[in-house]
Amino acid sequence: MRTVLIAGAGIAGPALAFWLKAAGFEPTLLERACRLRSGGYVIDFWGLGYDIAERMGLIAEIGRIGYRVQETRIVDDTGRRIAGFGTRVFSELTGGRYVTLQRSDLSRLLFEKVSGRIETVFGDEIVALDERPDAVRVNLRGDGERRFDLMIGADGLHSSVRAMAFGPQSRFEKPLGYAVAAFELVGFRPRDENVYVIYGQPGRMVGRFTLRDDRTLFLLVFATQDAQLPATRDAQEAMLREVYGKGGWDCPRMLAELARADELYLDRVSQIRMPGWSRGRVALVGDAAFCVSLLAGQGSALAMISAYVLAGELGAARGDHRQAFAQYEARLRGYIGAKQRGAERFASAFAPKTRIGLHIRNLAIKAFAIPGLARFAIGRDVADIIQLPDYSWPLLDRSAAA
Ligand SMILES: Cc1cc2nc3c(=O)[nH]c(=O)nc-3n(C[C@H](O)[C@H](O)[C@H](O)COP(=O)(O)OP(=O)(O)OC[C@H]3O[C@@H](n4cnc5c(N)ncnc54)[C@H](O)[C@@H]3O)c2cc1C
């Protein structure tokens, strides 16, 4: 029991490859895209994910490329501040171990830890999967048939491995009633450095955040019951113009400049809820197994935690995958379930669907100015209720983790 095929080089995939290698396995990392994605949305990163990054020797670099957000500010149609709070509370709750960074930067840092040390395949994907008692046989579109002892899907919310091994996405997807779009504009003005500026109307919000190199990130979350979002860029832009066309604040200029964004990310805000994360020799990690959605604000950390625990359990079980998969799930299921329920609760506060809901949300945020209240309100969601198990890593390359 040695060889493990991992599909997906986002966050969970490279983290899993690193820890499997440290546990003595031979991982192969397969990524459908031709190269790692750059740009994209920013993520908040803290807690056990941060601890794992530290064990991988990534904290100095994360600190260098990360952003230290000072304030979350809610503005009205004219851009006037109507509520907000200093984000120092997050730093206090996490002992300063809290950073905001681009998801693609975290993905790149994780990948660099395994690049050159394991087999990596870009621009290919599995088209057929045959799980047998002694091995998993996969057919790769470009590379033909390959055989592995285990197969792990780390291929995100729309996982093909999940679809092939467990059934169609519709069986496990729980849409939260919102869609999310994200894009970057170069040279957008004004810039409010290190401030997360939020503008909301009933059922829709826009977040604006300044990045280095004169870039500005826009994150849009809006209510929708559409099961299918438009697939072409033109149709996606048309949808955003329709939803935000009557918006105040920066909306008109944001929409006017939308066409010059290099990439536009648009997806449903959904969770994945499965009765089990493994079947035979196939298991899932990260969003593929249990996507908590952006509303949990912690999906990347959870992806890393699941990778770490799965690799640790496989090492501890000396490759007995049945035992390892069962332990992996036993350790994490309750914890992940709590994060999913928290994200569902938070959905209505993030982009309230009614004017009164919006007003109440803003009042609640104003109340964060009362000393201690923000700490009390946010604390439960920021704290991790589990501890990272200590596994032995016989082949942990101390130089790679340094
Ligand atoms: C707008 C937004 C904001 C977010 N904010 C935060 C936040 O503040 N904090 C946080 O921690 N998390 C946040 N998240 C969640 C976080 O980005 C995800 O939970 C995390 O990226 C999951 O990692 P993953 O490796 O499981 O999946 P992904 O990062 O989605 O990676 C999956 C990889 O698999 C590849 N792939 C897909 N299909 C195949 C295939 N068939 N074969 C091979 N490869 C394939 C993809 O190209 C991709 O590289 C946010 C998400 C969104 C959308």
Per-residue model confidence (pLDDT) at position 400: 63
The atom of ligand 1 lying closest to the CA of 10 is: 31
Nearest to 283 by CA among 127, 172, 152, 91: 152
* Distance from residue 173's CA to the centre of ligand 1 (Å): 15
* Distance from residue 287's CA to the centre of ligand 1 (Å): 6
From first CA to last CA, the distance across the chain in angstroms is: 28
Per-residue model confidence (pLDDT) at position 402: 58
**Cβ–ligand 1 contact at 8 (below 6 Å):** yes
Which residue, judged by its Cα, is nearest atom 29 of ligand 1?
A: 10
The atom of ligand 1 lying closest to the CA of 33 is: 47
Per-residue model confidence (pLDDT) at position 378: 61
**Cβ–ligand 1 contact at 293 (below 6 Å):** no
Per-residue model confidence (pLDDT) at position 54: 96
Pocket test for ligand 1, best of 294, 308, 310, 350 (most atoms within 8 A of CB): 294
Q: Which residues of the chain have pLDDT under 70?
A: 1, 350, 364-382, 398-402
* Distance from residue 373's CA to the centre of ligand 1 (Å): 32
Per-residue model confidence (pLDDT) at position 279: 97
Per-residue model confidence (pLDDT) at position 295: 84
**Cβ–ligand 1 contact at 154 (below 6 Å):** yes
Which residue, judged by its Cα, is nearest atom 30 of ligand 1?
A: 156
**Cβ–ligand 1 contact at 206 (below 6 Å):** no
* Distance from residue 154's CA to the centre of ligand 1 (Å): 9
**Cβ–ligand 1 contact at 289 (below 6 Å):** no
**Cβ–ligand 1 contact at 43 (below 6 Å):** yes
Q: How crowded is the C-beta side of 137, counted as CA atoms within 13 Å? A: 6
At 11, list the tokens. Answer: 């966050």
Which residue, judged by its Cα, is nearest atom 31 of ligand 1?
A: 10
Per-residue model confidence (pLDDT) at position 345: 82
Pocket test for ligand 1, best of 18, 103, 218 (most atoms within 8 A of CB): 103
**Cβ–ligand 1 contact at 33 (below 6 Å):** yes
The atom of ligand 1 lying closest to the CA of 288 is: 26
**Cβ–ligand 1 contact at 105 (below 6 Å):** no
Which residue, judged by its Cα, is nearest atom 53 of ligand 1?
A: 294
**Cβ–ligand 1 contact at 215 (below 6 Å):** no
Cβ count near 380 (within 10 Å): 10
Pocket test for ligand 1, best of 5, 28, 43, 140 (most atoms within 8 A of CB): 43
Predicted TM-score (pTM) of this structure: 0.94
* Distance from residue 10's CA to the centre of ligand 1 (Å): 6
* Distance from residue 399's CA to the centre of ligand 1 (Å): 27
